[in-house]
Amino acid sequence: MKKKIFFGLTFLAVGLLVGAAQAADLPPKDFGMDDAIISVANSAGRAVVSISTERTTKIKRYNFGNPFGGQSPFGQDDPFRKFFDDFSGGMPDTEYKQAGLGSGVIIDPEGYILTNEHVINGADKATVTLPDGREFKAELKGRDPRSDLAIIKIDAHNLPVATLGDSNSVKIGQWVVAIGNPFGFALQNPEPTVTVGVISALHRSLGRVISGDRDYGDLIQTDAAINPGNSGGPLVNLKGEVVGINVAIFSTSGGYQGIGFAIPVNNAKKIITRLIEGKKILYGWLGVTVQDLTDDLAKYFGLKEKQGVLIAKVLKDGPAEKAGLKESDIIKQFNNTPINNVKELLSTVAAAEVGKKIKIVVMRDKKEVALQVEVGERPQDLEQAAAEIGASEGWRGLKVEEKKGVLVVDVEPGSPADEAGIVRGDLIREINKRQIQNIADYNSATKGLRGDALVKTERGFYIIKEKESGR
């Protein structure tokens, strides 16, 4: 069965599941496990709230279109539109309310609450319910989609506050307690619930396909049971310290299967002040597309080990291009920090100060080259920024992009190209750093070619090995 990721916010209309997870220090020998959990529930639980949201969603009335397709040749006097408008009674767009549920944790006695950004994203209205049953209208103070964290505030005072711990100190196997208000809307009970488990793993990543533009690249994994509504609630250790913010569960069926994730609380502590002040969270950016080295790529570039990151594409007018970085450069160091893989590079660059000039060391033609790059600000939409590279301005509604290369229309199963990872639909741009603009270039570059070949496609670099036959 296909695996799924379910994020913490529960939509009544959509049915998303919620996440929770966290780690704990071992309790003192003279302090029983049940005593520790009860203590955590009583202390940290007092600072956990339920967050209900309301969104207004519009559904456009049915559009019958016209038999000509696209723009009607009759313009505004289209008789077909008039007929169907009369048929539908000129019905307006339909609006309906969509409710959602999540959790949050009070971090300041004056009503500041930390939660997931996806819990409040797009909400027209958010209501916070305290464990004692009191309800307050919430005001959004700051949000950061990339970290999936947000701060909301209620008009209340002298509230119980959770203690933020140190997520860098958690260890695999430590006991943790997940706290939140799952199914609170159905159970009609404002008191938070607790589930118990251990830290299953650290530094987990959900990957770009699942997380999109959110940075789910350094998560805490736990087997604490996760239920709808836990998202945004705390993961605490047995001292009652918050070590994570629950975010998602991994499931094949939509139900609890022992795999949950939480954002390390240290990530939140870095940006809480800016979120409270309503300031934008800035992340560093180089303007490159990169890939991890394989054994074959490392060998081709003359490296003894797979240490470094290969630049597959340099975005036009980006910080990397301005600094002189080139495609097929291998980034070895950033700001005097060794770079072993893509994950390390992304986290290091993201944490760099925007506008600051940083030393970057690359391998180019088997020689080390040191460059100075001015760290740029990460665009809000990376995919759009990358898609606009080389694209023309819109002309009468059209946007085009020039593509030079040869298109792969078929790949023989079991062939060197297949084993290298080349797939149908790939656009080959270079072979052994020789530009390929057409079939003639391709035939010229491959004629009599011996040895392993470095092939650059739109997706990155690949090594196509030589067969014993020499082809």
Which of the residues are catalytic? 118, 148, 231
DSSP letter assigned to residue 138: -
Cα–Cα distance for residue pair 329/162, rounded to 1 Å: 47
Phi-psi region of 148 (alpha: psi -120 to 50; beta: other; left: phi over 0): left
Cα–Cα distance for residue pair 244/236, rounded to 1 Å: 7
Q: Which single residue is written with the structure tokens 């793993």? A: 201
The DSSP element (H or E) to which 33 belongs, if any, is: helix 33-43
Q: Which single residue is written with the structure tokens 């969270």? A: 281
Would you tell me how many other CB atoms lie within 10 Å of the CB of residue 200?
20
Q: Are the CB atoms for 173 and 198 separated by under 8 Å? A: yes
Nearest to 190 by CA among 268, 104, 131: 131
Q: Are the CB atoms for 220 and 231 separated by under 8 Å? A: no
Cα-to-chain-centroid distance, residue 455: 29
Tell me which amino acid residue 252 is: T
CA distances from 4 to 7, 175, 206, 278, 373 (A): 10, 26, 11, 33, 39
Q: Are the CB atoms for 254 and 42 separated by under 8 Å? A: no
Cα–Cα distance for residue pair 151/145, rounded to 1 Å: 12
Q: Are the CB atoms for 428 and 442 separated by under 8 Å? A: yes
Tell me which amino acid residue 427 is: L
Residues of the chain by 3-state class (helix, strand, coil), percent to 5: 20, 35, 45
Q: Are the CB atoms for 118 and 261 separated by under 8 Å? A: no
Structure tokens of 400? Answer: 């085009």
CB-side exposure of 283: number of CA atoms within 13 Å?
Answer: 21
DSSP letter assigned to residue 26: P
Structure tokens of 88? Answer: 């539908």
Cα–Cα distance for residue pair 399/396, rounded to 1 Å: 9
DSSP letter assigned to residue 44: G
